[in-house]
């Protein structure tokens, strides 16, 4: 038996769930095939412990379905991990810029710092002090994140088709 890389098993699980990130992930369509394919690169114990770790890290959570079965759902934190795994350069640019402006009070500095870190993880670049820019559509993830940490009244999200100094910004994102 060959040694298994636990990180790559986690990556395989998260990437395997990628097509389902918009809805609840229940792997109802063909869960056996998914796990059979995964068992070609890892043991059942490794897969189980990796799923357990993914839940501990906050990447996945179990949800109860109507038919009393349990399912896995990717959390916003898991989605960000997935987007880091697939690499920002693999996404096609639709020609629009996403600008995020925020003014989070000093009393909530920890939320502001956390939000800033998550923007960086998604590939946003600082445009001005509290203004961030990205060429890729992360509206759903940003909305979930804003709601999850309770900063919706402090954040504005703008989608635009042109911006002054666009050439420099394109180079920043290798577009």
Average pLDDT, the chain: 79
Q: How confident is the model at residue 20 (pLDDT cuts 50, 70, 90)?
A: low
Is residue 28 predicted with pLDDT exceeding 60?
Answer: no
DSSP 8: H
Q: What is the pTM of this model?
A: 0.55
> What is the arithmetic mean of pLDDT over 72-81?
80
Q: Which fold has domain 6-86?
A: Arc Repressor Mutant, subunit A (1.10.10)
- Residue with the two structure tokens 């900063």: 151
pLDDT given for residue 69 in this prediction: 79
- More confidently predicted of 32 and 175: 175
Chosen CATH of 88-172 out of 3.30.70.3270, 3.90.850.10, 3.30.70.240, 3.30.110.40: 3.30.70.240
Q: Domain spans of the chain?
A: 6-86, 88-172
Beta strands in the chain (DSSP E): 60-64, 70-74, 97-102, 125-128, 131-134, 155-160
Q: How confident is the model at residue 137 (pLDDT cuts 50, 70, 90)?
A: confident
Is residue 56 predicted with pLDDT exceeding 60?
Answer: yes
């Amino acid at each position: 038996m060959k040694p298994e890389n636990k990180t790559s098993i986690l990556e395989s699980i998260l990437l395997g769930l990628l097509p389902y990130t918009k809805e609840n992930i229940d792997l109802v369509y063909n869960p056996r095939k998914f796990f059979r394919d995964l068992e070609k690169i890892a043991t059942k114990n490794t897969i189980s412990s990796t799923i357990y770790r993914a839940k501990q890290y906050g990447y996945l959570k179990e949800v109860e379905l109507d038919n009393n079965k349990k399912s896995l759902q990717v959390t916003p934190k898991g989605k960000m991990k997935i987007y880091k795994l697939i690499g920002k350069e693999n996404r096609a640019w639709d020609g629009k810029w996403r600008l995020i402006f925020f003014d989070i009070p000093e009393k909530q500095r920890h939320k502001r710092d956390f939000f800033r870190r998550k923007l960086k993880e998604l590939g946003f670049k600082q445009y001005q002090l509290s203004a961030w820019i990205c060429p890729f559509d992360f509206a759903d993830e940003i909305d979930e994140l804003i709601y999850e940490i309770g900063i919706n009244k402090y954040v504005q999200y703008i989608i635009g088709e042109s911006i002054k100094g666009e050439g420099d910004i394109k180079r920043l994102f290798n577009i």
